[in-house]
Amino acid sequence: MDVAGAGSSTNYNRLQELKSFDESKAGVKGLYDSGITKLPQIFIIPPEHLDAGDPVSGKPTPAQFMIPVIDLKEISGSHAGIVAGVRQAAESLGFFQVVNHGIPVKLLEEMLTAAREFHEQPQVLKAEYFSREAMRKVKYVSNFNLYQSKFANWRDTLFCLMAPQSLDPQELPPLCRDVTMEYSRQVHVLGRLLFELLSEGLGLKADHFEGMDCAKGHFILSHYYPPCPEPQLTMGTTRHSDPDFLTILLQDHIGGLQVLSPHGWVEVSPVPGSLVVNIGDLLQLISNGRFKSVQHRVLANHNKSARVSVACFFTHHLLEYPTTRMYGPIKELLSEDNPAVYRETSLKDFIACYNNKGLDGNSTLSHFMLQQ
């Protein structure tokens, strides 16, 4: 894999370097293991794509703003208060953390350990799962939009399509098979609860989102962010919003996740035993903009240890799109004073738009806005 010196090459061929990196099937972890001290040029952010507040700009990130933390322990006794808290977070920031959510801390720790062990096993064992085929249910890849992006992210990912069709456990890597199946089952239960709270927050019946199949399907992405030799020059994940209804994220203690708030980029600081929840583009669309799907990103890892996170995306995947269902603003939320902001779309068309665009820092929702 001859990309180690790409950052200083005068005869830089981007496509050739991308292919060399991709065909190695070693991912970012392979580059890190090779001992490189300079970042390959395919990962370096072009100056014209820098955000205000990016690490390379030298501008500090404000730290005074805290992401809401919602305690679900007393949900039976303080239901209305929890609904109000979820609604406020979804309408203002689009991000919150939940504690006492019902998933045992031991399982969270085991899920993070399994994700780490998959990515840190010998490359020859991971390579059999490496694929860019859209129709594979389980695959390991580095940068899903490698050939569309302006710069590659310092991150590898294991993708597992878990629902609605039951996955044959034998398709999952042995190192993370059992724990992924159990985590998938329990995070699905939590997802259904959160959809109920969000539905009630809009003044709808608790099962309204359930009836729209928002919680029916989900897939799990296990991300691995190795230490980066020059973290000021790239990103772990480029700024983006999620192309789903809802995301539940399990992150380790390393940190680096940031959300674009009214106060600028702020850190989503890890809270022991918590899960991060954020609104997806499709939930913003069907709530007619009431709930906010906001931009977020992950800084390149400047620590000595790898960062690991596990994201559960609630949506239908390419393999299992409904053939006829269309998603648009919920009629019960519309009025003469609150007309539809977005047009209807199928999940297939929405995801195709997202994938074609890639992580370019712009919201896919802009393509589905009605002219006002």
Task: Please report the sign of the dihedral spanned by the C-alpha atoms of residue 201, residue 206, residue 207, residue 210.
Answer: positive
Summarize pLDDT for 9-33 with one digit per residue, the tens.
446 899 999 999 999 999 999 999 9
Q: Would residue 11 count as lying in a domain?
A: no
Instruction: Please tell me the predicted confidence (pLDDT) of residue 77.
Output: 84
Q: Would residue 49 count as lying in a domain?
A: no
Q: Would residue 118 count as lying in a domain?
A: yes
Distance CA 295, CA 336 (A): 30
Distance CA 315, CA 306 (A): 28
Torsion of CA 48, 53, 55, 59, to 10 degrees: 110
Q: Would residue 30 count as lying in a domain?
A: no
Instruction: Please tell me the predicted confidence (pLDDT) of residue 48.
Output: 81
pLDDT at 6 over 50: no
Place of tokens 């801390």: 105
* Phi, psi of 336, deg, nearest 5: -60, -35
Provide the token pair at 318.
């390419």
Q: Would residue 302 count as lying in a domain?
A: yes
Instruction: Please tell me the predicted confidence (pLDDT) of residue 50.
Output: 72
CATH code for position 330: 2.60.120.330
Provide the token pair at 241.
């919003």
Mean pLDDT of 51-73: 66
Task: Please report the sign of the dihedral spanned by the C-alpha atoms of residue 244, residue 247, residue 253, residue 257.
Answer: positive
Q: Would residue 14 count as lying in a domain?
A: no
pLDDT at 57 over 70: no
Radius of gyration in angstroms for the set of CA atoms belonging to the chain, rounded to a whole number:
20
Q: What is the pTM of this model?
A: 0.93
The three-point CA angle 152-153-159 to 5° equals: 110
pLDDT at 61 over 60: no
Supply the DSSP string of 204-251, one letter for each residue: S-TTHHHHTTTTT-EEEEEEEE---SSGGGSEEEEEE--SSSEEEEEE
Chain-centroid distance, C-alpha 277:
10
Mean per-residue pLDDT of the chain: 90
Query: With contact defined as beta carbons under 8 Å apart, do 251 and 237 qualify?
Result: no
Q: Would residue 10 count as lying in a domain?
A: no
Give residue 318's pLDDT band: very low, low, confident or very high (50, 70, 90). Answer: low
Instruction: Please tell me the predicted confidence (pLDDT) of residue 4.
Output: 42
Look up the domain containing 149 and give its range: 62-368
Number of domains in the chain: 1
The DSSP H or E segment spanning 285 is helix 281-286
Distance CA 323, CA 328 (A): 15
Summarize pLDDT for 243-291 with one digit per residue, the tens.
999 999 999 999 999 999 988 999 999 999 999 999 999 999 999 999 9
Distance CA 275, CA 250 (A): 5
Distance CA 332, CA 204 (A): 8
Q: Would residue 189 count as lying in a domain?
A: yes
Distance CA 71, CA 98 (A): 6
